[in-house]
């Protein structure tokens, strides 16, 4: 991105540390739901990667 290009973000982008005081209760609740869904998605990916790692380790332990 060049400095002279306008900076655009997708609607609903959550930036850690941003000022929450201007958001309505409904917006804050929606933000929490979004963050919880993202946490669940990250936890699922961690579980998936651990399963793959454990399977690979089991194969190499047998050899």
User: pLDDT tens track of the chain, all 63 residues?
Assistant: 566 777 666 777 899 999 999 999 999 999 999 999 999 999 999 999 999 999 999 998 875
Q: CA distances (Å), 4 to each of 1, 10, 11, 29, in order?
A: 9, 19, 21, 35
pTM, whole model, 2 decimals?
Answer: 0.70
- Asked if residue 49 is part of any domain, the answer here is yes
- Residues 44, 37: contact at Cβ < 8 Å? no
Give the CB-side neighbour count of residue 23, counting CA atoms within 13 A: 13
- Asked if residue 12 is part of any domain, the answer here is no
Give me the number of domains the chain comprises: 1
- Asked if residue 8 is part of any domain, the answer here is no
- Asked if residue 4 is part of any domain, the answer here is no
- Residues 58, 50: contact at Cβ < 8 Å? no
- Asked if residue 47 is part of any domain, the answer here is yes
Domain around 41: 21-63
- Asked if residue 63 is part of any domain, the answer here is yes
Task: Please give the distance of CA 46 from its chain centroid, rounded to a whole number.
Answer: 12
**Which residue bears the tokens 């990667």?**
49
- Asked if residue 14 is part of any domain, the answer here is no
């Amino acid at each position: 991105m060049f400095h002279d290009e306008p900076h655009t973000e997708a609607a609903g982008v959550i930036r850690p540390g941003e000022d929450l005081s201007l958001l309505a209760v409904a917006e804050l609740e929606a933000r929490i739901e979004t963050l919880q869904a993202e946490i669940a998605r990250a936890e699922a990916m961690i579980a998936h990667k651990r399963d793959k790692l454990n399977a690979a380790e089991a194969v190499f332990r047998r050899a």
